[in-house]
Amino acid sequence: MGVWTTYRRIGEENAAAAAALAEQLGFGTFWLGGSPRLPTVRPLLEASESLVVGTSIVNVWAYDPADLAAEYTALERDFPGRLMVGIGIGHPEATSHYRKPLTAMREFLDGVDAAPEPIPSDRRSLAALGPKMLDLSAERTLGALPYFVPVEHTADARRRLGVGPFLAPEIAVAVEADHRRGRSLAREYAASYLGLTNYTSNLLRYGFTEDDLRDGGSDRLIDAVVPHGSPEALAAVVRAHLDAGADHVAIQAIGEQGVPRRGWAELAQVV
């Protein structure tokens, strides 16, 4: 199990405290989202002893592949075996440079491999939703880091990847027993993602309709992708992803300001 968050949510000044807490609670991996620069994970590594820190994800449009490889080498030297570089293509809405995503990712990985000290294939993973990017994740990296997906995607991704490649979906959850408030928190969180074609196109592949995407997302969609409820109910969702073929689940606790101490602590007791 791992935790997933961003510095925008917890505050970069709280990085050390967050990493120490995650490790103390027994989580094995700390995933940092929000397209971070690789050196910004150093405080997370420094504040923990064995916690693996992963990026989810560094954005290929914001990086020179040789620079990324050099930054990985510097951190690996200081914290051997504790860094996982998640790499992603981002969203067409976020950059004017966006072009053929699969070609761009292949070229970026070629650049990483051509660096004086490449990032080993088993220390990097890809943000992957569609079939071709899933295939590439298995071909060139340890595996896939899907985001904002229902459990059906995890099952399909495992079938596509086969036995062996790493599969670590992110699951955003609202630890909230009040049904109305929990769904409201989930819908507020989901709003920005329902405006991104990478995610909406993927959801349409899994039985959701254009109507499900409108007006903040239907209850059916929100409950499937951003579940809410008691820690025990959410643990059942985590187990469903594991039963569907996930090797690891990155849990994002939403609904708290700053470091989600309560959510992490309550989830740690049941997952």
- What is the pLDDT at residue 14? 98
Q: Residue 92: what pLDDT?
A: 61
Mean of the pLDDT values across residues 88-104?
74
- Domain span at residue 75 reads 2-268
Dist. CA 261–CA 222, nearest whole Å:
23
pTM (two decimals) = 0.96
| 102 in Cβ contact with 132 (< 8 Å) | yes
> Can you tell me the distance from the alpha carbon of 102 to that of 112, in angstroms, rounded to the nearest whole number?
15
CATH of the domain at 58: 3.20.20.30
Which whole number is the average pLDDT over 151-158? 98
Answer positive or negative: Cα dihedral of 48, 83, 34, 207.
Answer: negative
> Taking a C-beta distance cutoff of 8 angstroms, is the pair 130, 100 a contact?
no
Task: Please report the pLDDT score of residue 94 as a whole number.
Answer: 54
Please say whether the dihedral angle defined by the alpha carbons of residues 92, 98, 100 and 103, taken in this order, is positive or negative: negative
HSE-CB for 123 with a 13 A CA cutoff: 19
The Cα diameter of the chain in Å comes to 54
- What average pLDDT does this structure show over 213-239? 97
pLDDT of 91 reads 63
Q: Find where tokens 């995407």 sit.
A: 213
Predicted confidence (pLDDT) at residue 43 exceeds the cutoff of 60: yes
Regarding predicted confidence, which is higher, 93 or 122? 122
pLDDT at 183 (0 to 100): 97
Residue 230 has a pLDDT of 97
Residue 85 is encoded by which pair of tokens?
């570089």
* 177-181 contacts at long range (C-beta below 8 A, 24 or more positions apart): 177/229, 177/230, 179/228, 179/229
From CA 6, how far away is CA 22, in angstroms rounded? 14
pLDDT at 90: 82
100 — pLDDT class (breaks 50, 70, 90) = confident
Q: How many Cα atoms occupy the beta-carbon half-sphere of 72 within 13 Å?
A: 28
**What's the number of domains the chain is made of?**
1
